Amino acid sequence: MRNALSPMDGKPRLTSVSLAATHPVFGNSPERGGNEQIRRLLKSFGLRTSLIRLKVIDALLKAADDNRCLGVRGVHSELLELDIPLSFLSVREVLKRLYSEGVVSLNPDKSYSLHPKALAVLHAGE
């Protein structure tokens, strides 16, 4: 068995270090009680938690707080402003998956917003 800290094939093995511990942008959002609500939301829809899903949903929550909806470019721009280096294609694929699972709604103007059922799950934990 290999040591987790020893290099493998010339590359160090990644350990499970929390991004929140190494980068403040990935930490909990105090105004919405952190990521636990979003984790619970994803679990209730049968989805696994991933950093990109957390951040995309957080961006949509922030937009909802401001009474606006975001398209793919808008979500991507929000994440770039927070120095979260996710590709446009990754954001688009996450939004498509969240839409197919009923977490977000696709509006006629091609913008996305959290589905009312998702908002109900989020607000139930407050």
**Per-domain residue ranges of the chain:** 15-124
Distance separating alpha carbons of residues 112 and 26, to the nearest angstrom:
22
pTM for this predicted structure: 0.71
Amino acid (one-letter) located at 28:
N
Backbone angles phi, psi at 68, to 5 degrees: -140, 160
- Please report the DSSP string for 59-119 in residue order: HHHHHHHTT--B-HHHHHHHHHHTT----HHHHHHHHHHHHHTTSEEE-TTS-EEE-HHHH
pLDDT tens, residue by residue, 47-65: 999 999 999 999 999 999 8
Rounded alpha-carbon distances, angstroms, from residue 89 to 20, 58, 85, 96, 113 = 24, 18, 12, 10, 18
Both tokens assigned to 65: 């707080």
Backbone angles phi, psi at 73, to 5 degrees: -65, -40
Provide long-range contacts, Cβ within 8 A and 24+ apart, for 71-74.
71/109, 71/110, 71/111, 71/112, 72/112, 74/111
pLDDT for 122 equals: 87
pLDDT tens, residue by residue, 79-111: 999 898 899 999 999 999 999 999 999 999 999
pLDDT tops 80 at residue 114: yes
Instruction: Specify the CATH number of the domain 15-124.
Output: 1.10.10.10
